[in-house]
């Protein structure tokens, strides 16, 4: 009972921290990390452990699907060089550098455990960076690179993690490498197949709560099935989500989609809070088992943190310098070359290497008897805490000092998409445009197609009047309920209609 009450209290604290974060310009994951530290230092807090086999599936699967669903394959293809460099080279260098640092500081640590630590702390989490980046205008290309990295580096890092954990358990043979390659390819294929099968079933369900619940069951089911088949659960979920995003829009109702987005946003937030809570509770037990070695653990954690930050800086700036040199050579030969990355852009990408829930989940997923498990969990939390606090708090003022070239590519595409959608709507009206109702409906679509300032001003005025009218409708509806002239059932049905109308106005 005490654990349940503690979790409820900490979830409430997480809500308060999330509300406080934008007011002080700090990512909410950074405040959660600090809350985990406070929790670990409170005397008498119980130590709670989670089944290691459950940790990755519970925390990573929903977060990964949420990120992969919003990914743009087109934008990732256009920025494949930068994303691939971060996903493969930067992760590989971080794993190697952290493993070497860990083994140098603690020669008794087996190489397999050192590599596992490197894989745990290698993948940055863009959720923390995005919580700040959404408050400032950042070039779209830079956002694509950061979001693509956060999506795909989990796969590369967790594949290495899986190999290292298997090596520590003595389960690695000459066939392990080819088997992992096959599991990765099989996972992608399985995810694509399962997505289409899932849509064939879910599209027949009309009840909103059942449809949303089925999404979560499907996500965990995909992860568990891939794990049981010895395929890559990460790549399976990524392929599952990307396929859903391409096919689902035509098969999901607007009502289900709105409910689904709202629920998933809440669940991802709750999982982040729970991950920091569980790590904080486990750190309490680790601190009691240090036996006079807090200095050794702290030095170890700070060294690994420094390695993670410096290796990312070294790779990003070296890669960007090489691209600029290649462009100059291409221009000297008269060949066309892509716009090279700027120094300012490289600095932003380097400073957005904050770690988060994937690192915590991977640390929690280590078997209880894994070599140096306490030290690895402690170090993983140090890296998460250090990057979130140091980089997360300074990211916004750091961006304010840089001069970044803005682009309006997304805004241009939004305008084009709205115009094309309005043109299709006018074509669909057909002969009905001649009727009184048809002319009334067509006027708004015709205004959307005109790009002149007068039409935009009229649309804004119409939207303002509609919002004012909706406000009056809500007040009158509430008065009818208070006066007892309508019951709650009628009230909620009309209220839902007004909610949809207001949401439609906000979109336009």
Helix count (H) and strand count (E) of the chain? 22, 0
Candidates 114, 3, 49; CA nearest to 368 is: 49
N-term to C-term CA, the chain: 48
Share above pLDDT 70 across residues of the chain, in percent, rounded to a whole number: 79
> How many Cβ atoms are within 10 Å of 6's Cβ, its own excluded?
17
Here the tokens at position 11 are: 């979830």
pLDDT, one tens digit per residue, over 281-299 is 777 777 777 665 677 888 8
Here the tokens at position 337 are: 């070359």
pLDDT computed for residue 222 by the predictor: 92
pLDDT computed for residue 174 by the predictor: 45
The residue-averaged pLDDT of 65-73 equals 78
Residues 19, 28: Cα–Cα separation, whole Å: 8
Q: Which fold has domain 2-405?
A: Na+/H+ antiporter like fold (1.20.1530)
Candidates 454, 469, 468, 464; CA nearest to 508 is: 464
The residue-averaged pLDDT of 205-215 equals 80
Share above pLDDT 90 across residues of the chain, in percent, rounded to a whole number: 11
Residues 93, 86: Cα–Cα separation, whole Å: 10
Count of alpha carbons within 13 Å of 199, Cβ hemisphere only? 19
Here the tokens at position 238 are: 């990524």
CB-based contact 258:206 (threshold 8 Å)? no
The residue-averaged pLDDT of 27-47 equals 76
Q: Locate the DSSP E strands across 402-478.
A: none
Q: What angle, 0 to 180 degrees and rounded to 10, lies between the N-to-C axes of helices 208-228 and 52-69?
A: 120
Residues 452, 376: Cα–Cα separation, whole Å: 60
pLDDT, one tens digit per residue, over 314-367 is 999 998 888 778 777 766 665 555 566 778 888 888 888 888 878 888 888 888
Residues 27, 30: Cα–Cα separation, whole Å: 5
pLDDT computed for residue 426 by the predictor: 73
DSSP letter for 52, please.
H
pLDDT computed for residue 367 by the predictor: 85
CB-based contact 90:316 (threshold 8 Å)? yes
Dihedral pair phi/psi, residue 186, rounded to 5°: -65, -35
The residue-averaged pLDDT of 393-419 equals 72
pLDDT, one tens digit per residue, over 97-156 is 999 999 999 998 999 899 999 999 998 876 666 665 665 567 777 777 887 787 777 778
């Amino acid at each position: 009972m005490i654990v349940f009450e503690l979790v409820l209290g900490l979830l409430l604290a997480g809500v308060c921290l999330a509300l406080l974060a934008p007011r002080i310009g700090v990512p909410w994951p950074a405040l959660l990390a600090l809350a985990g530290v406070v929790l670990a230092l409170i005397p008498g807090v119980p130590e709670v452990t989670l089944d290691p086999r459950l940790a990755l599936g519970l925390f990573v699967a929903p977060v990964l699907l949420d990120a992969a669903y919003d990914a743009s394959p087109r934008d990732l293809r256009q920025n494949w060089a930068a994303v691939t460099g971060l996903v493969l080279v930067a992760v590989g260098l971080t794993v190697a550098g952290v493993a070497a640092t860990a083994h140098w500081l603690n020669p008794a640590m087996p190489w397999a455990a050192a590599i596992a630590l490197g894989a745990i702390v290698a993948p940055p989490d863009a959720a923390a960076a995005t919580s700040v980046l959404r408050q400032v205008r950042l070039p779209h290309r830079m956002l694509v690179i950061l979001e693509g990295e956060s999506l795909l580096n989990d796969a590369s890092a967790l594949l290495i993690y899986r190999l290292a954990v298997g090596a520590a358990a003595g389960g690695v043979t000459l066939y392990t490498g080819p088997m992992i390659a096959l599991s990765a390819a099989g996972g992608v294929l399985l995810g694509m197949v399962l997505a289409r099968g899932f849509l064939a079933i879910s599209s027949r369900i009309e009840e909103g709560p059942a449809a949303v619940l089925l999404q979560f069951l499907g996500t965990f089911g995909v992860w568990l099935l891939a794990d049981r088949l010895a395929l890559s659960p990460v790549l399976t979920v990524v392929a599952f989500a990307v396929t859903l995003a391409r096919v689902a829009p035509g098969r999901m109702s607007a009502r289900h989609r709105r409910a689904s987005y709202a629920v998933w946003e809440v669940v991802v937030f709750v999982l982040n809070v729970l991950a920091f809570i569980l790590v904080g509770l486990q750190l309490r037990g680790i601190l009691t088992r240090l036996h006079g070695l807090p200095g050794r653990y702290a030095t170890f954690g700070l060294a690994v943190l420094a390695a993670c930050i410096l290796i990312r800086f070294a790779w990003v700036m070296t890669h960007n310098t090489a691209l600029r040199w290649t462009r100059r050579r291409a221009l000297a030969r008269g060949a066309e070359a892509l716009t090279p990355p700027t120094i300012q852009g490289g600095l932003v990408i380097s400073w957005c290497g904050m770690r988060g829930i994937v690192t915590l989940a991977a640390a929690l997923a280590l078997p209880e008897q894994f070599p140096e498990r306490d030290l690895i969990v402690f170090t993983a939390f140090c890296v998460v805490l250090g990057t979130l606090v140091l980089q997360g708090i300074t990211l916004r003022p750091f961006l304010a000092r840089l001069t970044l070239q803005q682009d309006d590519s997304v805004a241009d595409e939004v305008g084009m998409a709205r115009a094309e959608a309005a043109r299709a709507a006018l074509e669909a009206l057909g002969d009905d445009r001649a009727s009184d109702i048809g002319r009334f409906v067509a006027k708004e679509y015709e205004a959307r197609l005109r790009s002149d300032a007068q039409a935009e001003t009229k649309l804004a005025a119409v939207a303002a009047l509609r919002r004012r009218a909706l406000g009056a409708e809500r007040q009158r509806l509430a008065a009818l309920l208070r006066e007892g002239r309508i019951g709650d059932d009628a009230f909620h049905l009309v209220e839902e209609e007004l909610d949809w109308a207001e949401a439609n106005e906000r979109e336009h």
